[in-house]
Amino acid sequence: MIHIVDYGLGNIGAFLTLYKRQDIPAIAVSTAAELAEADHILLPGVGSFDHAMYLLNASGMRETLDRLVIEQKVPVLGICVGMQILGNASDEGQGAGLGWIPGRVRDLGSRGPRHQGLPLPHMGWNDIHPQRPLPLLKGIADPRYYFLHSFYFDNDDPQDCGATAEYGSEFTCIVNRDNVWGVQFHPEKSHSFGMALLKNFAEL
């Protein structure tokens, strides 16, 4: 069962619909009690880093999330801002992230797009380039995903980079450490590529 963390951010309905189409059980959860029995956790997010962390901490689910992910090693997939808050901190805000994967969120414009006259936010379809075999991308040929962001995850350990994309310069678009996964793009807007990725996550 996929437990989708509903803390007030992210298109929860889109993920529920995509999983229903694939006959994969999924529910939205908004309390610690509902989350407690999760065996797969989806952590969506849109907007700003600090606002996402404020809402997540205020939801009452933070302690349960830490226990499930850190102690019980339940697979978790952070999406967009849900990926960014997996890190320690962000140039976009002042607060602390979850700290599950060491790294800091940085301004994508500082990587090259702004200097090359490319518009920000980075919006649209991009090829992604796996850096190693990833079960999240199993069976997906020539993976392409839909992006909408102005910040990116700067992982401390190069081994935590699962895949990159390029927009002015190369940046990490999939992070992974053990049971913790994050994608900067939007699988719920990425048609068959996104459905395949979400199915692969359910099978981890």
**Full set of structural domains in the chain with CATH:** 2-202 (3.40.50.880)
Q: Which stretches of the chain score pLDDT less than 50?
A: none
pLDDT at residue number 138:
97
pLDDT at residue number 110:
85
- E strand spans, the chain: 2-5, 26-29, 40-43, 76-79, 89-90, 103-107, 122-127, 129-130, 144-149, 151-155, 161-166, 170-177, 180-183
Just list the catalytic residues.
Answer: 80, 186, 188
* Contact assessment for residue 30 and residue 6, using Cβ atoms and an 8 Å cutoff: yes
- In one-letter notation, the amino acid at residue 117 is G
**How far apart (Å, rounded) are the C-alpha atoms in residues 71 and 92?**
29
